Amino acid sequence: MDISKYIELVFTDYTLRTITLGTAILGAITGMLGSFAVLRKQSLLGDAISHAALPGIAIAFLITGAKDTNTLLIGALVSGLIGTFWIKSIVTKTHLKSDTALGLILSVFFGFGMLLLTFIQKQPNANQAGLDKYLFGQAATLVESDVWMMAIVTGLCLIVMLTFWKEFKLLLFDADYTKTLGFNTKFIDILITVFIVLAIVLGLQTVGVVLMSAMLLAPAAAARQWTNSLAKMVFLAAIFGAFSGVFGTAISSTQNNLSTGPVIVLVASVFVAFSFIFSPSRGLLFKQIRVLKNRRDLELHKTLAFMYHIAETHDNISHPHKIKLLNNFQGYTKSTLQKLVDKNYVERNGSMWNLTQIGFETAANLYTKQETEDE
């Protein structure tokens, strides 16, 4: 199937349109809220919350006996919140560290959820089939009302975020200062946490319990590499998340036997890898290039300094010297000499070289801080 045909299908085919739209909105909201989770150093909280939501789904089903998505998600929300606040209480009230608390709640809640799910499966209730779609998610089961639900929550989240933007930002970077300013930090903190839990719960149906944390982290971690501004980061993370959703859906729908959740996660991971390598200011590639450039500059400076010390011993700074003289100096190569010539610091005549006036002055200023020109 070629691309134009696929794009046409996205707009005409009901299922594909719903799924694409759903995953895109999901990617956007998780990316947005994920930025806060990543910056608050709560990256793995998402993992714990999504696992902790599982027993809620099972209990909601046991109580209502119906498989209505919204009811199940409310159950997930409640149990996710219980898990989150239990983690917080373990960390603050005991000497167990956050990693232990996270791993503990994650595995225990998930195990309990699985116990309930297997228990439900043995029940004589024909309605129970399909609850395990929440484990890995099934984007194919998205219907229009689910997408509306996601859109409404995203809208709500946007409104709250814009209203409390200043407070969120303050709390993120300087919690103590926020407190001294008189803001209710506990309230803001709970507000952010609740929205993160909400976003995770929304994604359970699509991506599933196990992989949901990546949806939260990956777009934010990718966005972080491109900017130092929170607003830009949140915006970029939303874009990355949405594109992961769209591309992931596209790839999985054109292949057989490819579930959407893992593909979306892999696409998001590719975004992260790309950002890690190619981001201009923080990326590994440009960092390496900068290191190499600095090393070359240093060699150039060393050569120039060496020449300066030779030239210093003569009255006339432009007194020519043999190139051979430079050979026992480490930083010297033919190319560095050529570069110095190109920069007009040095003149070369056959096997002789001499410093120019500019070169002499630059070299003299090399180790003083007066040099304003950035090489």
Partner 1 sequence: MNSAQIEIQLIASLVAIACAIPGTFLVLRKMAMISDAISHAILPGIVIGFFVTQDLNSPVLILLAALTGIITVVLVEYIQKTGLVKEDTAIGLVFPALFSIGVILIAKNANDVHLDVDAVLLGELAFAPFDRLLIGGTDVGPKSLWVIGSILLVTISLLILFFKELKVSTFDTGLSASLGFSPAIIHYGLMSVSSVTTVGAFDAVGAILVVALMIAPAASAYLLTTDLKKMLALAISFGVFSAVFGYWVAHWLDASIAGSITTMLGIVFLLVYLFAPSKGIIAVMYRERQQRTEVSLLTFLLHLKNHEELEERHVNHLYEHINWQKVRARSVLDLAQKNNMILIEKNIVSLTKKGNEFTSKAIDYIITNEDSQIEDMKDDFFLFRG
Residues near 193 by beta carbon (within 8 Å), at least 6 away in sequence:
84
Query: Does residue 284 touch partner 1 according to CB under 8 A?
Result: yes
Query: Does residue 97 touch partner 1 according to CB under 8 A?
Result: yes
CB 189 within 8 A of CB 172: no
> Which range in 209-217, 232-240, 333-341, 360-368 contacts partner 1 by CB under 8 A?
209-217
Query: Does residue 107 touch partner 1 according to CB under 8 A?
Result: yes
| Cβ-based nearer residue to partner 1, 227 or 269 | 269
Nearest Cα residue to 192 out of 215, 171, 206: 171
Query: Does residue 355 touch partner 1 according to CB under 8 A?
Result: no
Interface pick for partner 1 out of 250, 262, 354, 362 (rule CB under 8 A): 262
> How is residue 11 written in tokens?
């707009």
Q: What's the rounded Cα separation, in Å, for the pair 340 and 303? A: 9
> Which range in 162-170, 265-273, 314-322, 358-366 contacts partner 1 by CB under 8 A?
265-273
| Cβ-based nearer residue to partner 1, 229 or 333 | 229
Interface pick for partner 1 out of 6, 136, 183, 286 (rule CB under 8 A): 136
| Cβ-based nearer residue to partner 1, 269 or 356 | 269
Query: Does residue 115 touch partner 1 according to CB under 8 A?
Result: yes
* Minimal distance, residue 307 CB to partner 1, in Å: 37
Backbone angles phi, psi at 184, to 5 degrees: -85, 90
Contacts of 233-240 spanning 24+ positions with Cβ under 8 A: 233/35, 233/39, 234/31, 234/32, 234/35, 234/161, 237/31, 237/32, 237/34, 237/35, 238/27, 238/28, 238/29, 238/31, 238/32, 239/28, 239/31, 240/27, 240/31, 240/268, 240/271
Residues near 270 by beta carbon (within 8 Å), at least 6 away in sequence:
none
| Cβ-based nearer residue to partner 1, 94 or 127 | 94
> Which range in 156-164, 174-182, 252-260, 306-314 contacts partner 1 by CB under 8 A?
252-260
Q: What's the rounded Cα separation, in Å, for the pair 57 and 337? A: 72
Interface pick for partner 1 out of 57, 77, 265, 317 (rule CB under 8 A): 265
Residues near 49 by beta carbon (within 8 Å), at least 6 away in sequence:
80, 83, 84, 196, 197, 200
Q: H helices within 225-370, ranges in order?
A: 230-253, 260-278, 284-312, 334-342, 357-365
| Cβ-based nearer residue to partner 1, 122 or 324 | 122
Nearest Cα residue to 278 out of 233, 201, 224, 226: 226
Query: Does residue 210 touch partner 1 according to CB under 8 A?
Result: yes
Query: Does residue 139 touch partner 1 according to CB under 8 A?
Result: no
Q: What's the rounded Cα separation, in Å, for the pair 54 and 108? A: 11
| Cβ-based nearer residue to partner 1, 111 or 155 | 111
Backbone angles phi, psi at 321, to 5 degrees: -130, 160
Q: What's the rounded Cα separation, in Å, for the pair 316 and 318? A: 5
Query: Does residue 26 touch partner 1 according to CB under 8 A?
Result: no
| Cβ-based nearer residue to partner 1, 160 or 270 | 270
Query: Does residue 47 touch partner 1 according to CB under 8 A?
Result: yes
Interface pick for partner 1 out of 197, 272, 307, 363 (rule CB under 8 A): 272
> Which range in 145-153, 231-239, 253-261, 330-338 contacts partner 1 by CB under 8 A?
253-261
| Cβ-based nearer residue to partner 1, 49 or 317 | 49
Residue ranges in contact with partner 1 by CB under 8 A: 38, 41-44, 46-47, 51, 89-90, 93-97, 99-104, 106-119, 122, 132, 135-136, 210-211, 213-214, 216-218, 221, 224-225, 257-259, 261-263, 265-266, 269, 272, 276, 282, 284
